Homo-oligomer: A and B are copies of this chain.
Amino acid sequence: MNGAESLLRTFVASGVEACFANPGTSEMHFVAALDRVDGMRAVLCLFEGVVTGAADGYGRMAGKPACTLLHLGPGLGNGFANLHNARRAGTPIVNVVGDHAKFHLQYDAPLTSDVVGLARTCSAWVHVSTNAKSVSADGAKAVLAARGTPGQIATLVLPADTAWDAADGAADALAVPAPPAVADATIDLVAGILKGSRKAAILIRGAGLLADGLEQAGRVAQATGAALLCDTFVPRLQRGAGRVEVSRIPYFAEQIVDFLEGYEELVLVGAQPPVSFFAYPGKPSWCVPEGCRITYLAQPHEDSVGALRSLAAAVGAAAQPTKRAALQRPDLPTGALHQASVGMAIAALLPEGAVLVDEAATSGFAPYGFTSTAAPHDYLGITGGSIGWGLPVAAGAAVACPDRKVVCLHGDGGAMYTLQALWTQAREKLDVVNVIFANRSYAILNIELMRVGAGNGGPKALSMLDIGDPTLDFCKLAEGMGVAASRATTAEAFADQFGEAVRGRGPRVIEVVL
């Protein structure tokens, strides 16, 4: 057994079952070991941004890490942006970055770069495995680091000779400690605040936004009148019919300020105080109202669901919340195609248990609204704001949840970043419906250009925001990668195509011409 095989066996023993990969020469021993180790699904991606995005989608839905296989510094660099999004989501990911053999690094061969320096910019845990005898133990530690609360990016640099040298065997999985419980005093403090007369909101992120956490939060809200909030971009939110609803904080700074106006108490559950996404001249970045007190019920590393449960008891909440979203399927839309009619059709037809991946950007507001009362589903948001996230995440979520329909809503600008994800969706026969909103523009930038005080923009400036010349044909692009595609220009056509796609199986692209 060589180092690579010992590492792979350790991963499987530690519960890592999927490897998203784009390997090169320095990773060949790891690749060869895939055939000698049962229990690891290997998924090839044509670009590393797809690899890391898929690992993000997988990690969010599986609740445990996939590993990636990346080729030296440039492979990791190509994966940086979606690791950034994953880092912001607290997604567990174990990166394996192949590097030159240790004795080769001194020669500064063409592919040599500062892998460790690069890894530090996108990882919470970085280690270079220098010995085939200990790489399995390193692998177990990497998985442990990734599986903390919240999840983390753990990057293991694997020199080629560490992979090919003889190893002794796999390492045992390391026990993952449960997140620490919140102290009783904190529970009592927050209970006292919420039982007081000041207007209060509870901002939740992480495990608290999944079903059980929402149940507990709903109990608290009902007993105390506190509002339940979530960030604009959430790692994962279980919503739709039967679920306790939370209100999403809006995107723009002044909207956030308006939205939070009047709150005197802000209780944070695995979340941080809301700030604006970008800075604007003369506008505040900090969006918490003046005089509003901030209290942490649970830090991100703590047991936020347990804390919410204890809090519910402390405020004397009923055993169950009674306020939940009621199923409300809109009529199928007719007439003009716009984000509202698309949203209606999706809300009407979304299958129960779907995973809704949202990188629809400016086209996503109406669909988000309509789907709040759709069949219960999981919603994944673009936490790090780096576009080119949705299509790969949809692929990874589908690998994690083979029996659930994945629906990916995507802007056209972002879709062009990591479009290669469609090929992996086709290759792995993943059950994903990709809805591409083709407004042929970086539409958000047309808004932001004025908002930042840069004026209306002359022709050169506006051309930098316009992606309509030439027109992108997403049907051809999808078919070029083996994915069936269709184009909708009316609400009826979209509803027909989307309905057919959700009843069917396998990847599909629908281009929504706006």
Contact = CB atoms under 8 A, between A and B. Distances in A.
B164 A417 contact: no
A423 interface: yes
A427 B278 CA distance: 30
B464 A473 contact: no
Q: Quickly give the copy total for this chain.
A: 2
Interface string A453-495: 1110111110111110111111111011110000000000000
A104 interface: yes
Contact of A161 (B24, B100, B281, B479): B281
A170 B83 CA distance: 38
A134 to B, nearest CB: 19
A413 B110 CA distance: 19
Contacts of A278: 25-26, 100, 104, 109, 111, 160
Contacts of A423: 416, 470, 472
Contact of A383 (B110, B164, B454, B461): B110
Contacts of A100: 278-279
A418 B364 CA distance: 27
A108 B279 CA distance: 12
B46 A107 contact: no
A448 interface: yes
Contacts of A482: 470-472
A466 B88 CA distance: 33
Interface in A154-192: 160-161, 164
Nearest to A26: B278
Given A78-B78, A449-B31, A23 B104 contact: no
B122 A120 contact: no
A81 interface: yes
B279 A104 contact: yes
Interface in A265-315: 272, 275-279, 281, 285-286
A73 interface: yes
Interface stretch (A208-216, A349-357, A384-392): A384-392
B111 A44 contact: no
B454 A285 contact: no
A279 B427 CA distance: 32
Contacts of A453: 164
Contact of A25 (B88, B285, B444): B444
Contacts of A122: 77, 113
A74 B81 contact: yes
Contact of A449 (B32, B275, B427): B32
A58 interface: no
A442 to B, nearest CB: 8
A21 interface: yes
20 contacts: A25-B452, A31-B465, A32-B454, A34-B461, A35-B458, A35-B459, A35-B460, A42-B460, A42-B464, A44-B467, A46-B417, A46-B467, A77-B80, A78-B80, A104-B278, A113-B122, A117-B121, A118-B121, A164-B454, A474-B480
Interface of A: 21, 23-26, 28-29, 31-32, 34-36, 42, 44, 46-47, 49, 73-75, 77-78, 80-81, 84, 88, 100-101, 103-104, 107-111, 113-114, 117-118, 120-122, 160-161, 164, 233, 272, 275-279, 281, 285-286, 383-386, 388, 413, 416-417, 419-420, 423, 426-427, 444-445, 448-449, 452-455, 457-461, 463-467, 469-477, 479-482
Given A34-B458, A35-B457, A109-B276, 16 more contacts: A25-B278, A26-B278, A28-B448, A31-B454, A31-B461, A32-B454, A32-B455, A34-B461, A78-B417, A107-B286, A117-B117, A117-B120, A118-B118, A164-B454, A476-B479, A477-B477
Smallest CB-CB A-B distances: 3 pairs: A35-B458, A470-B482, A77-B80
